[in-house]
Amino acid sequence: MHLRALTGGVFALCLFTSSAAWSNESAASVVDSVTPPSATVPAATSKLQHLSNRASELAMEAMGLLGIEYQYGGNTPEEGLDCSGFVHYIFSEAWGKILPRTSRELSREGKHIDKQHLQTGDLVFFNTLKRKFSHVGIYLGDNKFIHAPSSGNVVRIESMDVSYWKKRFNGGRRISASE
Protein backbone atom coordinates (compact mmCIF):
# COMPACT_ATOMS: atom_id res chain seq x y z
CA MET A 1 0.00 0.00 0.00
CA HIS A 2 1.17 3.49 -0.68
CA LEU A 3 -0.23 6.70 0.84
CA ARG A 4 0.49 9.87 -1.02
CA ALA A 5 -0.50 13.48 -0.26
CA LEU A 6 -1.97 15.44 -3.12
CA THR A 7 -2.93 19.13 -3.20
CA GLY A 8 -5.41 20.68 -0.78
CA GLY A 9 -5.23 18.02 1.93
CA VAL A 10 -6.30 15.27 -0.46
CA PHE A 11 -4.81 11.83 0.07
CA ALA A 12 -4.75 8.86 -2.26
CA LEU A 13 -4.29 5.28 -1.12
CA CYS A 14 -2.89 3.10 -3.87
CA LEU A 15 -3.34 -0.64 -3.49
CA PHE A 16 -1.13 -2.95 -5.50
CA THR A 17 -3.96 -4.63 -7.40
CA SER A 18 -6.07 -1.51 -7.85
CA SER A 19 -6.39 1.92 -6.33
CA ALA A 20 -8.68 3.57 -3.88
CA ALA A 21 -8.89 7.18 -2.84
CA TRP A 22 -10.55 9.34 -0.25
CA SER A 23 -10.69 12.98 0.67
CA ASN A 24 -13.03 15.72 1.74
CA GLU A 25 -13.97 15.99 -1.94
CA SER A 26 -15.82 13.43 -4.01
CA ALA A 27 -13.91 10.20 -4.63
CA ALA A 28 -14.31 10.65 -8.39
CA SER A 29 -12.45 13.96 -8.40
CA VAL A 30 -9.63 12.43 -6.35
CA VAL A 31 -9.28 9.46 -8.71
CA ASP A 32 -9.23 11.92 -11.61
CA SER A 33 -6.45 13.88 -9.90
CA VAL A 34 -4.40 10.69 -9.45
CA THR A 35 -4.72 9.66 -13.11
CA PRO A 36 -2.96 12.13 -15.43
CA PRO A 37 -5.38 13.61 -18.00
CA SER A 38 -2.97 12.59 -20.77
CA ALA A 39 -3.21 8.92 -19.79
CA THR A 40 -5.11 6.85 -22.29
CA VAL A 41 -6.57 3.42 -21.63
CA PRO A 42 -6.48 1.05 -24.60
CA ALA A 43 -9.83 -0.51 -25.44
CA ALA A 44 -8.50 -3.97 -24.56
CA THR A 45 -7.86 -2.90 -20.97
CA SER A 46 -11.06 -0.90 -20.41
CA LYS A 47 -12.89 -3.94 -19.01
CA LEU A 48 -9.98 -4.66 -16.65
CA GLN A 49 -10.03 -1.02 -15.53
CA HIS A 50 -13.78 -1.24 -14.89
CA LEU A 51 -13.27 -4.36 -12.74
CA SER A 52 -10.43 -2.64 -10.90
CA ASN A 53 -12.65 0.38 -10.24
CA ARG A 54 -15.41 -1.90 -8.94
CA ALA A 55 -12.92 -3.54 -6.55
CA SER A 56 -11.77 -0.08 -5.46
CA GLU A 57 -15.38 0.78 -4.59
CA LEU A 58 -15.43 -2.17 -2.19
CA ALA A 59 -12.09 -1.21 -0.64
CA MET A 60 -13.12 2.43 -0.21
CA GLU A 61 -16.43 1.48 1.38
CA ALA A 62 -14.71 -1.00 3.71
CA MET A 63 -12.01 1.45 4.81
CA GLY A 64 -14.73 3.94 5.64
CA LEU A 65 -15.75 1.58 8.46
CA LEU A 66 -12.35 1.33 10.14
CA GLY A 67 -12.85 1.63 13.89
CA ILE A 68 -16.49 0.46 13.94
CA GLU A 69 -17.17 -1.74 16.99
CA TYR A 70 -17.56 -5.50 16.60
CA GLN A 71 -21.00 -6.79 17.54
CA TYR A 72 -21.96 -10.44 17.15
CA GLY A 73 -24.92 -10.57 14.76
CA GLY A 74 -24.49 -6.87 13.93
CA ASN A 75 -25.66 -5.69 10.52
CA THR A 76 -25.03 -1.93 10.49
CA PRO A 77 -22.24 0.41 11.56
CA GLU A 78 -24.62 2.02 14.04
CA GLU A 79 -25.24 -1.22 15.94
CA GLY A 80 -21.79 -2.70 15.24
CA LEU A 81 -20.79 -5.43 12.81
CA ASP A 82 -19.57 -8.99 12.98
CA CYS A 83 -17.35 -10.38 10.20
CA SER A 84 -20.10 -11.58 7.87
CA GLY A 85 -22.31 -8.59 8.68
CA PHE A 86 -19.39 -6.37 7.67
CA VAL A 87 -19.00 -8.16 4.29
CA HIS A 88 -22.78 -8.18 3.75
CA TYR A 89 -22.99 -4.45 4.47
CA ILE A 90 -20.00 -3.50 2.26
CA PHE A 91 -21.24 -5.38 -0.82
CA SER A 92 -24.74 -4.00 -0.35
CA GLU A 93 -23.55 -0.41 -0.01
CA ALA A 94 -20.82 -0.47 -2.69
CA TRP A 95 -22.48 -2.63 -5.34
CA GLY A 96 -26.12 -2.97 -4.26
CA LYS A 97 -25.43 -6.71 -4.07
CA ILE A 98 -27.13 -8.77 -1.38
CA LEU A 99 -24.91 -11.60 -0.19
CA PRO A 100 -25.68 -14.36 2.32
CA ARG A 101 -25.33 -13.36 5.97
CA THR A 102 -23.00 -16.05 7.40
CA SER A 103 -19.35 -16.77 6.60
CA ARG A 104 -20.19 -20.41 5.85
CA GLU A 105 -22.83 -19.36 3.28
CA LEU A 106 -20.46 -16.71 1.85
CA SER A 107 -17.84 -19.42 1.31
CA ARG A 108 -20.13 -20.98 -1.33
CA GLU A 109 -20.61 -17.75 -3.31
CA GLY A 110 -18.62 -16.68 -6.35
CA LYS A 111 -15.52 -18.37 -7.70
CA HIS A 112 -12.72 -20.07 -5.74
CA ILE A 113 -9.45 -18.10 -5.86
CA ASP A 114 -6.04 -19.44 -4.82
CA LYS A 115 -4.10 -17.31 -2.33
CA GLN A 116 -1.48 -16.28 -4.89
CA HIS A 117 -4.21 -14.94 -7.21
CA LEU A 118 -6.16 -12.83 -4.68
CA GLN A 119 -7.18 -9.36 -5.84
CA THR A 120 -8.63 -6.35 -4.07
CA GLY A 121 -12.26 -7.03 -3.16
CA ASP A 122 -11.95 -10.83 -2.94
CA LEU A 123 -13.31 -12.52 0.16
CA VAL A 124 -10.78 -14.27 2.39
CA PHE A 125 -11.80 -17.02 4.81
CA PHE A 126 -10.23 -18.33 7.98
CA ASN A 127 -10.75 -21.11 10.52
CA THR A 128 -11.01 -19.21 13.81
CA LEU A 129 -13.55 -21.36 15.67
CA LYS A 130 -12.12 -24.82 14.94
CA ARG A 131 -14.25 -25.07 11.82
CA LYS A 132 -13.55 -24.06 8.23
CA PHE A 133 -14.91 -20.76 6.93
CA SER A 134 -15.80 -19.47 10.41
CA HIS A 135 -14.35 -15.99 9.70
CA VAL A 136 -14.38 -13.74 6.62
CA GLY A 137 -12.75 -10.50 5.54
CA ILE A 138 -12.15 -8.48 2.36
CA TYR A 139 -8.74 -8.62 0.66
CA LEU A 140 -7.10 -5.21 0.07
CA GLY A 141 -3.89 -6.19 -1.72
CA ASP A 142 -0.29 -6.64 -0.53
CA ASN A 143 -1.42 -9.58 1.66
CA LYS A 144 -3.62 -7.28 3.77
CA PHE A 145 -7.30 -7.69 4.57
CA ILE A 146 -9.97 -5.73 6.41
CA HIS A 147 -12.42 -7.37 8.78
CA ALA A 148 -14.47 -7.16 11.96
CA PRO A 149 -12.33 -9.44 14.16
CA SER A 150 -14.04 -10.35 17.44
CA SER A 151 -15.83 -9.13 20.55
CA GLY A 152 -14.10 -6.16 22.16
CA ASN A 153 -12.37 -5.18 18.91
CA VAL A 154 -13.05 -2.86 15.98
CA VAL A 155 -12.97 -3.13 12.18
CA ARG A 156 -9.30 -3.09 11.23
CA ILE A 157 -6.73 -4.00 8.59
CA GLU A 158 -4.39 -6.93 9.24
CA SER A 159 -1.64 -8.77 7.44
CA MET A 160 -2.24 -12.30 6.22
CA ASP A 161 1.48 -12.85 6.82
CA VAL A 162 0.94 -12.86 10.59
CA SER A 163 1.27 -16.47 11.76
CA TYR A 164 -2.21 -16.51 13.35
CA TRP A 165 -3.91 -15.72 10.02
CA LYS A 166 -1.41 -17.60 7.86
CA LYS A 167 -2.09 -20.96 9.54
CA ARG A 168 -5.87 -20.40 9.61
CA PHE A 169 -6.38 -19.34 5.97
CA ASN A 170 -9.09 -21.44 4.28
CA GLY A 171 -9.30 -19.85 0.85
CA GLY A 172 -10.56 -16.96 -1.21
CA ARG A 173 -13.67 -16.30 -3.28
CA ARG A 174 -14.24 -13.73 -5.99
CA ILE A 175 -17.70 -12.24 -6.18
CA SER A 176 -18.59 -10.61 -9.46
CA ALA A 177 -20.77 -7.54 -9.50
CA SER A 178 -23.06 -9.20 -12.05
CA GLU A 179 -23.71 -12.49 -10.17
Active site residues: 83, 135, 147
Bridging pattern class, strands 144-147 and 135-141: antiparallel
Distance of CA 16 to CAs 1, 52, 72, 114, Å? 6, 11, 32, 17
Which residues have C-beta within 8 Å of that of residue 108, sequence separation ≥ 6?
100
